[in-house]
Amino acid sequence: MYIIEFSASENKLLNIYEHAEEYATLIMEELDPNKIGKIELKKLEDLFHRSMAPSSRKVKEKLVETTVESNTINRYHKRVKHLVNNIRRHNWILEENWRRIWVMGLWLAICACLFTWKFIQYRNRAVFEVMGYCVTTAKGAAETLKFNMALILLPVCRNTITLIRTETKLGALIPFNDNIEFHTVIAGGIAIGVGVHALAHLTCDFPRLLHATDEEYQPMAQFFGKERPNNYWWFLKGTGVDRFGYGGLNGYNFHLSTILLPKALRLWYSHHLFVIVYVLFLVHGYYLYFIDKWYKKTTWMYVLVPILLYVCERSIRAFRYGFQAVKILKFKVYPENVLALQMLKPRGFEYSSGQYIYLNCSAISPFEHAFSLTSAPDDDYLSVHIRGLGDWTKELNSTFSKVSTSFFYMLLIDGAYGAPAQDYKQYKVILLIGGGIGVTPLMSIVKDVLNNRKQYKEDEKDLEKGINNCNNKKKKRKPFATNKSTSTGALVMKGRSSGSRR
């Protein structure tokens, strides 16, 4: 049936595609009268050859009758069955993306609820009589903006995410692998919130207030003063400066992310303006026209905990860069411009296969670069393999290829951080496919599996000899197994001589 569907789909034969199951049934009735459940390829070829002869007229008539069937009930039944089959065939989309779907659904639902709540709140206030739905829309967008400005910091808290995904089972519900993509989606939500909030004020709220009569303005006097504002410049005082500064910096961030600079530099320069952005955001959230009491000004309540968490994150990174300087044990430059670095493993440094670290070489650049670890967790060294593809990696490879010793350079590391590849133990059978330098996280996984199997065999031999290893410093190992299986996992790895960068 699937072959018929595929052939019909490729040749755009919709009618045949819809009746593929019935055609398959007729073919099986013709070639498998004993209902064995399978047919020989030669018999199928003979059937196609006979279809051109008069003797095949009976089969043709059956197919035609099926195609032109006019019974309304049967047609409805077939369409429903076809729809159910389509849903089943595409069920993998839901199975693969259900975590993304529910997280996105929850985020959109929270934004919608916050917007609606603030919209209704200002709908029942005196300002609505003068500013109308402009103010309700602006305030609704502002509420979603507060939420997203708090939420956007959480997906980039690397240490927290790595800890949660490694030490808890929340990874089964939350797609931590998509943290950067979710961070980008939230940024889009912030852009929409800023746009709606600013446009509602500039094109609707302020013109209504400027052109209001003295009688209409009377309820607004308690917020804007006894004298009605007479031009737009009046709004630059108070919250106006920080409002325009906040919007301007957000626009400048977007501009920096699009100009012709290396991607890493664009991200670094644009994202480090967030300090000023958050200061202006808090100032704007404090000096409000319609709210006087500090405990009713909720901007700081939204962002307090995320900011403190992010400050702790950056402090940990700075501490690591200051104290986790590593000694280079050896290095080698391979063909295809690949540099292998082997570094002394810092005391207490723990990681899982598939994770990555940030590497900083002050002789090359003040910026760090992420690389997958190619060493196994039980190795007494850390290793990375770097292919010179970008400015940073090319400069590093060029520098090491010109020297005969590695002691002149100090490398700082930060990590290790979680990555999708570290979840390989959750599966009974894993298929590892990598091209070129893309095999780097897979190298660590293969080493870890082989080390575990080797240690397991040694423990088994010791047990046969009656040797007690309870006091051994190394933990007794189990063969590579998963939470779903206790049997040894199977590995299949494919690689190419050239491939894409990680």
Q: Determine contact, residues 450/377, Cβ cutoff 8 Å.
A: no
CA dist., res. 176 & res. 164, Å (int) = 9
Task: Give the residue among 191, 203, 292, 276 at the shortest CA–CA distance from 241.
Answer: 276
Could you tell me the residue ranges of all domains in the chain?
Answer: 1-43, 88-239, 324-449
CA dist., res. 194 & res. 258, Å (int) = 19
Task: Give the residue among 196, 205, 197, 193 at the shortest CA–CA distance from 235.
Answer: 205
* Whole-number pLDDT of residue 494: 39
DSSP lists the bridge partners of residue 433 as 494
Provide CB contacts within 8 A for 39, sequence distance 6+. 27, 28, 31, 32
CA dist., res. 147 & res. 280, Å (int) = 16
Sequence-distant contacts of 395-404: CB under 8 A, at least 24 apart:
395/364, 395/365, 396/339, 396/361, 396/364, 397/333, 397/337, 397/338, 397/339, 399/361, 399/363, 399/364, 400/331, 400/333, 400/339, 400/341, 401/333, 401/339
- Alpha carbon separation from 198 to 285, 388, 422 (Å, rounded): 14, 45, 44
* Whole-number pLDDT of residue 182: 93
* Whole-number pLDDT of residue 486: 33
Sign, CA dihedral 223-225-226-227, equals negative
Residue 295 CB: number of other CB atoms within 10 A? 7
Q: Determine contact, residues 205/140, Cβ cutoff 8 Å.
A: no
Quick one: DSSP state of residue 205? Answer: I
pTM, whole model, 2 decimals? 0.67
Is the backbone peptide bond immediately before 142 cis, with ω within 30 degrees of 0?
no
* Whole-number pLDDT of residue 309: 94
Give mean pLDDT in consecutive 10-residue pieces for the chain, a chain of 502 residues. Answer: 61 60 69 70 65 52 50 64 71 82 95 95 84 88 94 91 85 87 92 90 79 72 68 58 50 52 64 82 79 80 93 84 75 84 86 87 81 89 87 82 64 83 81 81 86 72 61 45 36 37 36
DSSP lists the bridge partners of residue 357 as 371, 415
* Joined tokens for residue 292: 């006087």
* Whole-number pLDDT of residue 8: 58
Domain at 324-449, CATH class = mainly beta
